[in-house]
Amino acid sequence: MPLIDIYLHQGATTRDQRRAISDAIHAAMVETLAIPDDDRFHFFHEFPEGAVFHEDVAFGIPRTNRLMCITLSFNDRAADTKKALFESLVAHLQDKAGVHREDVAFRILETARENWWAAGRVIDPRTGYDERMTSIVE
């Protein structure tokens, strides 16, 4: 049950663009983490002018007001899986939402499996994952 928070400048995107961003993130997570297709919980947080500060150039790359920081909260995954997820996210965001890799930063917050709950979700006690994912994570 991943929870996704997308932080961005207010007015930098339209409703349709936010939907495309959500679709891109979800596609990457279904593809890379094998989450169930109906497991989408994305929250957009828009900040008004003067509430976000970042350098115009960071790590030698120009940053614009389209910069977004995306926090992905989910159960533990291997380092190789997270690396593949980052690459898939960048590719899907570019392809589906027109977001350039220079305009995005990611952070993963890993949460212990026992710290998640949602009505209707059934956890396989052998794996600690949603029972619909058991064959994928074994």
- Predicted pLDDT at 28: 98
pLDDT higher than threshold 60 for residue 135? no
Q: Which CATH superfamily is domain 3-111 in?
A: Macrophage Migration Inhibitory Factor (3.30.429.10)
> Residue 97 and residue 23: Cα distance in Å, rounded?
8
Higher pLDDT, 105 or 125: 105
Sketch the domain layout of the chain as residue ranges. 3-111
pTM of the predicted protein model = 0.84
Percent of the chain residues topping a pLDDT of 90:
72
pLDDT-based confidence at 118, cuts 50/70/90?
low
- Predicted pLDDT at 112: 74
- Predicted pLDDT at 82: 96
Cα atoms in the Cβ-side hemisphere of radius 13 Å centred on 88: 18
